[in-house]
Chain A
Amino acid sequence: MGIIQRIPSGTALSARIENVSRRNFLKQVGGLALGLYLAPVGADSGTAAPGSAGGGPAAAVDLEPDAFVRIGADDRVTVIAKHLEMGQGTYTGLATLIAEELDADWAQVTVEGAPADTVRYKNLLMGIQGTGGSTAIAESFEQMRKAGAAARAMLVAAAAQRWNVPASEITVERGVVEHRASKRKARFGELAAAAAAQPVPKEVRLKSPQAFKLIGRQRLPRKDSPAKTDGSAIYTQDFKLPEMLVAVVAHPPRFWGGIKRVDASAAKALPGVVAVIPYAGKPGAFQNGVAVLSHNTWHAWKGRDALKIEWDDSGFKLGSEEIFARYRELAAKPGLIARRDGDAQSALASDTAAKVIEAEYEFPFLAHSSMEPMNCLVRLGDGTCEIWNGEQLQTADQAAVAALLGIPAEKVTIHQLYAGGSFGRRANPQADYVLEAVAIAQAARAHGIEAPIKLVWTREDDTRGGWYRPAYLHRVRAALDVHGAPLAWHQRIVGQSILKGSPFEKVLIRNGIDETSVEGAADLPYDIPNLQVELATPEDIAVPVQWWRSVGHTHTAYVTETLIDELAIAAGKDPYAFRRTLLARQPRHRGVLELAAAKADWHRPLAPGAAGARRGRGIAVHKSFNSYVAQVAEVTIARDGQFKVDRVVCAVDCGLAINPDVVRAQMEGGIGYGLAAALHSAITLKDGVVEQANFNTYPPLRIDEMPAVEVHIVSSAEHPTGVGEPGVPPLAPAVANALYAATGKRLRKLPFDPSELKV
């Protein structure tokens, strides 16, 4: 038996195809593998790969069939994407790079996710296999184009041989190889077998940007649109194996709490419940819990709800108020210095400080709240472990699973699926939910259950499950001199480290400073003679934290971009002009700032609102992940303080825009994601218990709250940089500055409290 046999739809078929190994699949379609692994130029092969133990040395592999591109006898070009598609458009982006140099017809290109394989699919900027930090296009721009160009060269060589003509006379266009003089033509599929037998070229010539046909094209259809509009796209939530059991779990109410006693009798009496399995968590990585197993998610869920569990009292017990009180104490004391220019403290105390602004800012914990709650499917074998997941951090997850099971990392196989959002959550530095799924499968095996196990978190589990954007508190003092020029800026940041205790600690924590806590502040772009940024990292807060779309920039940009606004107003200057002057040495910041201001008609007064409604406009500019974004937000505020963001004009400089429409989509999405947080999002704790659970207490943005968005892309020939995250940071400060412009109120606590804006 098993669920799969009862499936009448096409879904089972797609699930089964996923199960067929790629080699078998090739045999089935009758094509021959044409694939490449090219050693990246300029990549640092000596980069430490955290957690890569057992993954094998990064051997110099010249030809690795199936690595990035495969051409079938059926003419299909399959791009193997090393990055997780979680909405950011990377399948389309990677395929664009390969198809461009291959001169493929866009319609013949399909994309599949790469398995875990650090040697082949390492992220060249991260040194391990993984998706994050808005790096996908930036790190693979050369590598993917080279793969496409090499495949093209091999097709051309095969054609030259077959037709007995010089390769230099052969052209390739939209999937057709042609020798015009002898009027001979062949489709890719006809040449695939012969091309695979050609030697891999040692060197390839890449197109000059003027020759690009796909890169930079305004509208190139997304590769995942069809499957995501007919219900056939398969996410972890959807993937099924024969005999598979779904696990719905009960977690302790407090992080890192334990289990005293489980009364499973009521749960076991329910129809459909197969077993109740308590399992041990791993401190710092995943929680203890009790899993209820069933063939049907609903039955497992009902069973979970029927458990009677006595939890022990050992978990983390502080509430948000106590946490912020501690942070306030820490902010009163010097921290570690992340940046120091001049002497900010002396300047602030001196007579030259004509105007001083002091402010404190509070940022809550934030859940990622991706539409697809966390889940993971695990099948244990004999000394092996197979995982199906929307997988974002292959190398680290493999290593963590291997350590938990006591098997070598190469015995951990990971199959890639679509992810229903992530926003950073699926790249957990401790492999939390993946380990939890494995631990349940292991515990089930100890109970004699060998079935594959799919861990499925409910929305409530996901909201309460931790791994939040850390709560932060900033305390800032800034001064203008008598001429209204910025004199000093002293900023203290207090909040948990994301990286401490993770495999990334060694690389990204320097001198006690977690770069992800201070990024965006320690690299403040404005010319300020006396600047000091300090960091205090509390170590006694056990709330699990991790990166959340744009990481440190989520809070630093808010402080820097609202405070610079405040300084501008205090200096009697226009906030746009004030920034522009201070960015004289930052041409790319200035470029997006000017573009956004021009497109938003900054120099013209904002149209007034209806009677009684106040309107305001605010601007912000921020660099993150090597991309530059400026946004102008326009707001309308009612007398009771309720407000609507009417429009956001956004300018982005991400170097060469590979897929302009995906760039626009990511800016729109980043604006919506940032706005949701600014308007609604806070995870709060009371006695250590998370107070939010579902969308009614952790509200998302809804369609009526979405502003009109206009995106303008700076035309650039610079190396491409990421767009998944950089749209987020400027949004909240731009809106806050607009609210200030309309009301004269500075909001220093997120999410915004409209009652502060009442007339």
Chain B
Amino acid sequence: MVKLEINGKPLQLDAPPDMPLLWVLRDVAGLTGTKYGCGMALCGACTVHLEGKAIRSCVTPVAAAAGKKIVTIEGIDAERVGRAVQQAWRELDVVQCGYCQSGQIMSATALLAANRQPSDADIDAAMNGNVCRCATYVRIRAAIHRAAELLAV
């Protein structure tokens, strides 16, 4: 049994301590918005927030998240920054297949939470670990700038 706090809700889940958080979220907690893409911290599809920081859940043993605050795509609209990012993503229709986009939104939200006016270089640095095979990068960049605008007012 492991005790987690996911999207503000305390949960007790039956999972061995070495199971990556990704599979606990998806297969035990049933939160499938967080995606598997590589399992090796190479693609960012599995990005969630642990104590507000963007982490790759595919290489994070669930034990390392025990007792800490986890936020997934399903809970990101509880935060103002998350809502702004989602809104920008929708305004600009960033998504194509959408499979990478939970991770993109989690990374973008973490970036904007720490830096309200990111430059293109800041965006490249923060988003470099998030792969999009549909290559929606032009819009990801534009949507991060748009979210920054939404947050500035």
Interface residues of A (CB under 8 A from B): 3-4, 6-12, 86-89, 219, 221-222, 224-235, 237-238, 240, 246, 271, 295-298, 369-373, 418-423, 458-459, 661, 665, 668-673, 675-676, 694-696, 700-704, 706, 708-709
* Contact between A271 and B33, CB atoms less than 8 A apart: no
B77 within 8 A of A: yes
For chain B, the count of residues having a C-beta within 8 Å of the partner chain is: 59
Q: A87-B95, A669-B134, A672-B132 provided; 5 other pairs, C-beta below 8 A?
A: A9-B74, A371-B35, A665-B93, A701-B131, A703-B140
* Contact between B97 and A703, CB atoms less than 8 A apart: no
Q: How many CB-defined contacts (below 8 Å) exist between A and B?
A: 206
Interface residues of B in 8-47 (CB under 8 A from A): 9, 11, 16, 19-20, 23, 26-40, 42-43, 45
* Contact between A297 and B27, CB atoms less than 8 A apart: yes
Closest to B123 in A: A703
With A703-B124, A704-B128: A665-B27 Cβ-Cβ less than 8 Å: no
Q: Which of B36, B38, B95, B135 contacts A706 (CB 8 A)?
A: B135
**Alpha-carbon separation in the docked complex, A232 to B96 (Å):** 15
Chain B residues, Cβ within 8 Å of A671: 135
Chain A residues, Cβ within 8 Å of B29: 6-9
Q: Which of A230, A661, A704 contacts B86 (CB 8 A)?
A: A230
* Contact between B74 and A87, CB atoms less than 8 A apart: no
Which one of A4, A459, A676 has the highest number of Cβ atoms from chain B below 10 Å of its Cβ? Answer: A459
**Alpha-carbon separation in the docked complex, A532 to B99 (Å):** 44
Chain A residues, Cβ within 8 Å of B74: 9-11, 230-232
* Contact between B35 and A296, CB atoms less than 8 A apart: no
Q: Which of A3, A237, A700, A703 contacts B35 (CB 8 A)?
A: A237
**Alpha-carbon separation in the docked complex, A710 to B138 (Å):** 10
Which one of A231, A419, A421, A459 has the highest number of Cβ atoms from chain B below 10 Å of its Cβ? Answer: A231
B148 within 8 A of A: no
B53 to chain A minimum Cβ distance, whole angstroms, is: 19
Chain A residues, Cβ within 8 Å of B26: 238, 297
* Contact between A8 and B131, CB atoms less than 8 A apart: no
* Contact between A701 and B32, CB atoms less than 8 A apart: no
Chain B residues, Cβ within 8 Å of A418: 97-98
With A371-B133, A700-B131: A12-B40 Cβ-Cβ less than 8 Å: no
**Alpha-carbon separation in the docked complex, A246 to B32 (Å):** 15
Q: Mark B59-77, 1 if CB is under 8 A from A, else 0.
A: 0000000000000111011
* Contact between A672 and B135, CB atoms less than 8 A apart: yes
3 closest A-B pairs (Cβ-Cβ)? A231-B33, A672-B135, A420-B99
* Contact between A709 and B138, CB atoms less than 8 A apart: yes
* Contact between A224 and B95, CB atoms less than 8 A apart: yes
Chain A residues, Cβ within 8 Å of B89: 225, 229
* Contact between A668 and B86, CB atoms less than 8 A apart: no
B92 to chain A minimum Cβ distance, whole angstroms, is: 9
* Contact between A89 and B124, CB atoms less than 8 A apart: no
Closest to A419 in B: B97
B54 within 8 A of A: no
B35 to chain A minimum Cβ distance, whole angstroms, is: 7
Closest to B27 in A: A296
With A231-B34, A708-B138: A87-B97 Cβ-Cβ less than 8 Å: yes
* Contact between A231 and B131, CB atoms less than 8 A apart: no
Q: Mark B98-135, 1 if CB is under 8 A from A, else 0.
A: 11111001000000000000000001100110111111
* Contact between A458 and B96, CB atoms less than 8 A apart: no
25 A–B contact pairs at CB < 8 A? A11-B33, A87-B134, A222-B93, A225-B90, A228-B98, A230-B33, A230-B77, A230-B86, A231-B32, A231-B74, A234-B32, A237-B35, A238-B26, A418-B97, A420-B35, A421-B96, A665-B96, A672-B136, A695-B43, A701-B137, A702-B128, A702-B137, A703-B127, A703-B141, A706-B137
Chain A residues, Cβ within 8 Å of B100: 371, 420
Chain A residues, Cβ within 8 Å of B9: 8
B54 to chain A minimum Cβ distance, whole angstroms, is: 14
A310 to chain B minimum Cβ distance, whole angstroms, is: 26
* Contact between A86 and B97, CB atoms less than 8 A apart: yes
B82 to chain A minimum Cβ distance, whole angstroms, is: 10
